[in-house]
Structure 1
Amino acid sequence: MADLEKKKGEVTYEITEHIGVIAQYPNNWTKELNRISWNGTNPKFDIRDWDEKHEHMSRGITLHLEEVKILKELLTDAQLA
């Protein structure tokens, strides 16, 4: 029963596409935009900080394709200066 509980709470991930680095920090962590499959689901766009080996991560934000399209429009329309 203990093994079942452990597997229930386990989160798995696979970076299916590395899109780019948004920022790099002195501790060698990077803020990245990737497509990630969480627990075997369809990949989503994901922004979060990662260590060098992609073994540890910070909290981040995960977006579906439609949400990324809306974000792109909002950023295109925004005055970013």
Structure 2
Amino acid sequence: MYWYGGWAWMAFMPLLWIALICLAVWAVVRLTHGSSGGTARRGHGWDGGEHRETPEEIIDRRYASGEIDTDTYTEMRERLAAHRPGQR
């Protein structure tokens, strides 16, 4: 009985152990570093929670990258300041 299925099981066992070890390593890394993989990506905090950019941060980023010019930047910042909640 062992002889007929034994060789197939012996060939499969190393693959099973490799898969289980990889799964365990992945789970430990995922649990210790959160869903961001241990680095703070744009739009994600260290804890894996979503960080949404404020309109001011978006304008600052676009100005810093050269996407908008100084006049547009100033105008957009003034418009945001005028429409900011709680400033009436």
Fold similarity call, TM over 0.5: no
Q: Larger % of strand: which?
A: 1
Normalised by the length of structure 2, the TM-score is 0.28
Q: Larger % of helix: which?
A: 2
Normalised by the length of structure 1, the TM-score is 0.29
Of structures 1 and 2, the larger Rg is shown by 2
